[in-house]
């Protein structure tokens, strides 16, 4: 099952993608996590990506497409995967489709998690992330057992630099301009499914599982 998560920043893509990956035993591939890990390690890619991310913009397509095409070609992706945060532009989607078409493959579902902008602003201020393992929490909605500490790995949780309100506003603009057109793109391929992302995270997950029909 080859899945992609669509939705605004903060819609809950990462939260759901992790649950999907666990249930269906497929890898969760988050381009945001890959960039943040590279920034933390101080790699060339991380250095290049950081300025775009801090400004709330997108990292240029050429820095992300090959990386993802490479990743989905690895052995653990044989039975499928859930892509979270990619594609984010039409050219990225076209590159992914072209790469998949070479082996007669395609994206099975583009899961579009719908959450209005106003809820997003509220959610982002409360998001806390673990840079060590990628887990995410919300100080009110989905708190960790111990404040400031990751349940999964024990590392400290941070408020991401790009989750500050000014940057979130910019990211939402970028989303509407460059990423939202993907909804139409995948609709035209009969791959898009829509989920109400304002429900409790477990209800969102149940709705996704029902739509995937397995
Ligand atoms: P969120 O989950 O809040 O939407 P991500 O962790 O997916 O955020 O991404 C964080 C940042 O990393 C984005 O704002 C963007 O700068 C960069 N990024 C992640 N994936 C991509 C991509 N596919 N194309 C371009 N930039 C990306
Ligand atoms: P994305 O990957 O789309 O940027 P996340 O999965 O990181 O989004 O979720 C954004 C924030 O909202 C996080 O703080 C997360 O804990 C919280 N969150 C996720 N799903 C829900 C939900 N269904 N209801 C309320 N808060 C949620
Ligand atoms: Zn952790």
Any ligand 2 atom below 6 A from CB of 138: yes
pLDDT value, residue 163? 92
Is residue 161's pLDDT more than 90?
no
Question: In the structure, how many helices (H) and strands (E) does the chain have?
Answer: 9, 8
Longest CA–CA span in the chain (Å) reads 47
Q: What are phi and psi of 198, to 5 degrees?
A: -85, -10
**Per-residue pLDDT tens digits for 101-146:** 999 999 999 999 999 999 998 899 999 999 899 999 999 999 999 9
CB 3 within 8 A of CB 107: yes
Instruction: Please give all residues whose beta carbon lies within 6 A of any atom in ligand 1, as ranges.
Output: 9-10, 13-14, 31-32, 35, 52-53, 57-59, 64, 85-86, 88, 92, 162, 171
Q: Nearest residue CA, atom 3 of ligand 1?
A: 9
State pTM to two decimals: 0.95
Rounded mean pLDDT, 11-34: 97
- Ligand 1: atom nearest CA of 13 is 2
Dist CA 12 CA 192 (whole Å): 17
Q: What's the alpha-carbon Rg for the chain, to the nearest Å?
A: 16
Is residue 200's pLDDT more than 80?
yes
Query: Domains, the chain, ranges and CATH?
Result: 2-115+178-212 (3.40.50.300)
Is residue 158's pLDDT more than 80?
yes
Among the options 160, 169, 170, 187, which is catalytic?
160
Rounded mean pLDDT, 43-72: 96
Handedness of CA 37, 42, 45, 47 (dihedral sign): positive
């Amino acid at each position: 099952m080859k899945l992609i998560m669509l939705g605004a920043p903060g819609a809950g893509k990462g939260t759901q993608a992790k649950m999907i990956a666990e249930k269906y035993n497929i890898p969760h591939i988050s381009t945001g996590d890959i960039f943040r890990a590279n920034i933390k390690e101080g790699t060339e890619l991380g250095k290049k990506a950081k300025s775009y991310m801090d400004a709330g913009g997108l990292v240029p397509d050429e820095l992300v497409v090959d990386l993802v095409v490479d990743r989905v070609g690895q052995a653990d992706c044989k039975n499928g995967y859930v892509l979270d945060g990619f594609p984010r532009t039409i050219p990225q989607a076209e590159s992914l489709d072209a790469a998949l078409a070479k082996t007669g493959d395609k994206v099975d579902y583009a899961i579009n998690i719908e959450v209005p902008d106003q809820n997003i602003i509220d959610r982002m201020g409360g998001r806390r992330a673990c840079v060590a393992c990628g887990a995410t929490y919300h100080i009110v909605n989905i708190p960790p057992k111990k404040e400031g500490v990751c349940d999964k790995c024990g590392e400290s949780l941070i408020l991401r630099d790009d989750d500050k309100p000014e940057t979130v506003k910019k990211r939402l603009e970028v989303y509407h301009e460059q990423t939202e057109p993907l909804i139409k793109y995948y609709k035209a391929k009969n791959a898009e499914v829509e989920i109400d992302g304002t429900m409790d995270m477990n209800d969102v997950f149940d709705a996704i599982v029902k739509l995937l029909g397995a």
